[in-house]
């Protein structure tokens, strides 16, 4: 990322407003620096060179006090505004990254979702020092430094020439050391993302590891990742301290050159005391912004690396979306026309042609890996077909790719195997803000068998549950999701193996719920493995897979992409230590 990347202004409007504010404050600061130097020189030089009384300098002392107070107030204002701007910009960037990542689709999220979670949480938090410390000093360089240098030129040409030739030394060393710091910061971010993603996977799989007695296996590997993170952090700090010392030495030496040169000329009477004092006081102010930029760059390097990673996500191309409003699915039939989706060196599904009639139960059947879930993803508009299309209507059919997805999603209720359940009461999760009578709520719960679950809870419908449904069993969460689907009025209901975690008795209740949805005129699409669910369907679609040929792999490069499983096992460090196994 550049010192001031235009993409930051594009994705974070708060940054744009903040830069305007800093520019104004920087200009005022430059004027106040000059005024301060002139006030001090005007108060001191007449007393020393002309023998005036100290009382004669009181107006200049008062002016100096006012200038100091204003500078302190400006510094406080800048710091407080910087923290607010940093928070606002980070929130905006997070929002853009999350929104963009969602639009990139489930396959992209399967590969990079956990890294993205780490980035938008801890990663982007590191942008705080960039806004609070680095960016203000960077803009001070283009305001304070040129103005003070111009005033030095006015009062003493020789001192200004020395400053002009020594100033470039600071950015040269900043670039040399900064490249190394940026590399270490990038390594630190990657390590942090790696730790974050693997910890998320570990937490999600901890119950399974515990059941298998392998919960201690990842300990050694997690400890190793922690040491890697600590090592890259210390490397970054070591380079930061080194570069800070170098920049301080160069700036101090440059100021000393100006001071010695002015002092010698004062002794020989080649420059007046008034001008000499102003030049000596302005010399540190010329170098100060550059010194601070170099020093603060290292504090903000982690944030810069995180912002670069965020921009890479934001620049990932999103499949184009249609603009047509969605047809009413309660009145239209949907056709799958020769659908094929590239997946792991094969087509899954392969050349699928079928019809989904409205108001019926349609079951997608086939062996695992044949592309049933992928077909659902395509029907929902979350995945684009590699070949083929989804057509809505009969006489004047509309391609799904031409439809505005937001209007399309409004007509769907999707119940995945792991339903999204948020922290809150059971009632809040089922209703999701809908105004539903107690009678209708009870009827829906009775139909899905969820009422029995509610009756056994400590506080009934007002029982609090945790993230993901903690407090309920897997089967109970599934019935909660089915109850929620029953209460919604969308024309389509898509169920992903709704009976996978249920016994035969509860399976029968789910089948009755599906039939009830159908009797209400709603179209039910179910991914089914169990025979009873398939038997209850009015329409069955067989989903098949087919190996890709060499010519197809050449024509469609995505067929040769690394699989999610291979990516997890080969390209990423293994979670379980092989020695522990």
CATH superfamily of 321-411+491-573: P-loop containing nucleotide triphosphate hydrolases (3.40.50.300)
CA distance 109 to 101: 7
User: In DSSP terms, which residues pair with 494 in a beta bridge?
Assistant: 414, 525
**CA nearest to 486, candidates 518, 460, 461:** 518
Alpha carbon 547 to its chain's center: 37
Q: In the chain, which residues have pLDDT < 70?
A: 1-4, 50-51, 107, 110, 114, 173-204, 225, 229, 232-233, 235-237, 239-240, 242-244, 247, 294-295, 297-301, 501-502, 561-581
Q: Concatenate the DSSP letters of all residues of 187-219 into one string.
A: HHHHHHHHHHHHHHHHHHHHHHHHHHT-TTTTH
pTM above 0.75, yes or no: no
Specify whether the CB–CB gap between 266 and 280 falls below 8 A.
no
pLDDT value, residue 568? 37
pLDDT value, residue 179? 63
pLDDT value, residue 563? 41
Instruction: Convert 433-469 to b/e letters by CB count within 10 Å (16 or more is b).
Output: eeeeeeeebeebbebbbbbebbeebeeebebebeeeb
Let me know if domain 417-489 sits in CATH 3.40.50.10490. Answer: no
321-411+491-573 matches 6-314 in CATH topology: no
Alpha carbon 325 to its chain's center: 30
Tokens 């505004």 sit at which residue?
A: 81
The alpha carbon dihedral of 130, 133, 138, 139 has a sign of positive
Backbone angles phi, psi at 74, to 5 degrees: -65, -40
Let me know if domain 6-314 sits in CATH 1.20.1560.10. Answer: yes
Pairing of strands 464-465, 424-425: antiparallel
Spell out the domain ranges in the chain: 6-314, 321-411+491-573, 417-489
pLDDT value, residue 499? 76
pLDDT value, residue 523? 92
Specify the 3-state DSSP secondary structure of 405: helix
């Amino acid at each position: 990322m550049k010192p001031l990347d235009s993409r930051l202004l594009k994705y974070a409007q708060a940054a744009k407003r903040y830069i305007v504010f800093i520019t104004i404050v920087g200009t005022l600061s430059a004027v106040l620096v000059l005024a301060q130097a002139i006030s001090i020189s005007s108060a001191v030089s007449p007393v020393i060179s002309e023998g005036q009384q100290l009382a004669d300098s009181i107006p200049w002392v008062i002016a100096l006090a006012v200038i100091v107070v204003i500078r302190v107030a400006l510094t406080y204002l800048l710091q407080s505004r910087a923290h607010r701007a940093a928070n606002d910009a980070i929130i905006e960037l997070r929002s853009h990254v999350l929104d963009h990542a969602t639009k990139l689709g489930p396959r992209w999220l399967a590969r990079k979702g956990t890294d993205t979670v780490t980035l938008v949480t801890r990663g982007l938090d590191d942008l705080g020092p960039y806004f609070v410390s680095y960016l203000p000093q960077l803009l001070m360089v283009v305001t304070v430094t040129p103005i003070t240098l111009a005033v030095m030129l006015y009062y003493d040409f020789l001192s200004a020439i020395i400053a002009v030739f020594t100033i470039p030394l600071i950015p040269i060393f900043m670039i040399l050391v900064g490249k190394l710091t940026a590399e270490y910061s990038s390594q630190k971010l990657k390590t942090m993302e790696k730790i974050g993603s693997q910890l998320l996977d570990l937490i999600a799989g901890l119950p399974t590891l515990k059941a298998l007695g392998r919960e201690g296996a990842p300990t050694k590997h997690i400890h190793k990742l922690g040491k890697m993170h600590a090592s890259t952090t210390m490397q970054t700090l070591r380079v930061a301290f080194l570069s800070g010392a170098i920049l301080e030495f160069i700036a101090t030496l440059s100021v000393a050159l100006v001071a010695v040169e002015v002092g010698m000329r004062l002794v020989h009477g080649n420059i007046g005391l008034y001008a000499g004092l102003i030049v000596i006081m302005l010399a540190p102010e010329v170098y100060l912004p550059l010194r601070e930029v170099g020093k603060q760059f290292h504090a903000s390097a982690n944030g810069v690396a995180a912002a670069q990673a965020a921009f890479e996500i934001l620049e990932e191309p999103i499949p184009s979306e249609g603009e047509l409003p969605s047809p009413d699915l309660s009145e239209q039939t949907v056709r799958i026309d020769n659908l094929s989706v590239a997946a792991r060196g094969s087509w899954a599904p392969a050349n699928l042609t079928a019809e989904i009639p409205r108001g019926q139960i349609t079951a997608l059947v086939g062996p695992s890996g044949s592309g049933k879930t992928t077909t659902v993803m395509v029907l929902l508009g979350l995945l684009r077909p590699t070949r083929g299309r989804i057509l809505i209507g009969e006489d004047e059919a509309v391609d799904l790719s031409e439809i505005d997805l937001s209007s399309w999603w409004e007509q769907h209720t999707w119940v995945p195997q792991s339903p999204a359940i948020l922290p809150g009461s059971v009632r809040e999760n089922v209703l999701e803000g809908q105004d539903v009578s107690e009678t209708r709520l009870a009827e829906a719960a009775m139909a899905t068998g969820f009422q029995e679950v509610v009756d056994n809870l400590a506080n009934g419908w007002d029982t609090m549950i945790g993230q993901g449904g903690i407090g309920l069993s897997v089967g109970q969460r599934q019935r909660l999701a089915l109850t929620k689907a029953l209460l919604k009025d969308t024309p389509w209901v898509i169920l992903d193996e709704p009976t996978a975690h249920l016994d035969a008795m509860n399976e029968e209740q789910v089948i009755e719920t599906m039939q009830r949805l159908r009797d209400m005129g709603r179209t039910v699409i179910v991914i089914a493995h169990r025979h009873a669910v398939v038997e209850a369907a009015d329409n069955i679609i067989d989903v098949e897979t087919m190996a890709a040929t060499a010519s197809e792999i050449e024509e469609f490069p995505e067929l040769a992409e690394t699989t999610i499983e291979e990516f997890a096992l080969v390209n990423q460090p293994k979670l379980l230590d092989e020695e522990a196994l």
